[in-house]
Amino acid sequence: AQRVTQPEKLLSVFKGAPVELKCNYSYSGSPELFWYVQYSRQRLQLLLRHISRESIKGFTADLNKGETSFHLKKPFAQEEDSAMYYCALAGSSNTGKLIFGQGTTLQVKP
96: left (phi over 0), alpha (psi -120 to 50) or beta: left
For residues 15 and 44, which CB has a smaller minimum distance to other proteins in the complex? 44
- Residue 48 in the binding site for other proteins (CB under 8 A): no
Strands 10-14 and 104-109: parallel
- Residue 26 in the binding site for other proteins (CB under 8 A): no
What's the rounded Cα separation, in Å, for the pair 67 and 47?
Answer: 22
Least distance CB 18 / other proteins (angstroms):
25
Q: Which residues bind other proteins (CB under 8 A)?
A: 6, 9, 36, 43-46, 49, 86, 88, 90, 93, 95-103
